Chain A
């Protein structure tokens, strides 16, 4: 199975609610990133958390990283219809510029 597996695969919530998506990985990492992708469009970088960080915030986004459990979570607070998209985690296994290994993604639907 792949590095960076995501849970749940699909999530549907009401506007204004919080959305939490989880990601697990298998190997040691240098950092973990979260990306957003609108249907069939490009990958938009949301946030990067380094292996020595435990939590990071950016606007309505909160990312946590637990290297002992090899897992990360992305929380989107006060969700909006425009947050509807697929969200992927991606891990970078080495130092310096390295390929990214993506998880399968969570399809998030925000219902107005």
Chain B
């Protein structure tokens, strides 16, 4: 069965650069979530989209933005990267209830 696809798997960026993470949800899932997990930390909710509209917002810095496109894939854009942005970024999708997480994108800011 198709899972949630995230790309890239790994990303290395320098401070002050911009990064774009992509998420392709399971077909027919109408909600996409983004989470950030710092080293040794629990995943923290960033933002979610339902039917291409932002549905909830968590502790997402103003330097970050996200959107969901007409094909339901979502992109997380991060600008002016800081060392503290180094983390594992997870995307999840759901339909009604039941989450499926992607394998994550590991972002390293140097």
Residues of A within 8 A of B (CB): 2, 4, 31, 33, 35, 40-45, 48, 88, 90, 92, 96-105
Interfacial residues of chain B within 24-59, with CB under 8 A of chain A in the complex = 30-31, 33, 35, 41-45, 48, 50, 56, 58
Question: With A40-B88, A42-B104 in contact, do A100 and B99 touch (Cβ < 8 Å)?
Answer: yes
Set of chain B residues within 8 Å of A92, measured between Cβ atoms: 97
Smallest distance from the beta carbon of B74 to chain A beta carbons, Å?
Answer: 14
Question: Could you tell me which B residues sit within 8 Å of A by CB distance?
Answer: 30-31, 33, 35, 41-45, 48, 50, 56, 58, 88, 90, 92, 94-104, 106
Residue of A31, A43, A48, A88 with most chain B CB atoms under a 10 A cut-off:
A43
Q: Which of B45, B90, B101, B102 contacts A101 (CB 8 A)?
A: B45
Contact between A102 and B42, CB atoms less than 8 A apart: yes
Contact in complex: A96, B106 (CB < 8 Å): no
B99 A2 Cβ-Cβ under 8 A: no
CB-CB under 8 A from B42, the residues of chain A are 2, 4, 88, 102-105
Contact assessment for B103 and A33 in the assembled complex, using a CB-CB cutoff below 8 Å = no
Residues of A within 8 A of B102 (CB): 42
Q: Which of A2, A4, A42 contacts B101 (CB 8 A)?
A: A42
Pick from A99, A102, A103: contact of B56, CB below 8 A. A99
Q: For A43, what are the chain B residues with a Cβ–Cβ distance below 8 Å?
A: 43, 90, 101, 104
Q: B41 — which chain A residues lie within 8 A by C-beta?
A: 104
Given A88-B42, A101-B45, are A40 and B99 neighbors across the interface (CB < 8 Å)? no
Could you list 19 examples of A-B contacts with CB < 8 Å? A2-B42, A33-B99, A41-B104, A42-B101, A42-B102, A42-B104, A43-B101, A44-B101, A45-B100, A88-B42, A92-B97, A97-B94, A97-B95, A97-B97, A98-B56, A99-B45, A100-B92, A100-B99, A105-B42
Which residues of A are found within 8 Å of B58, using beta-carbon distances? 99
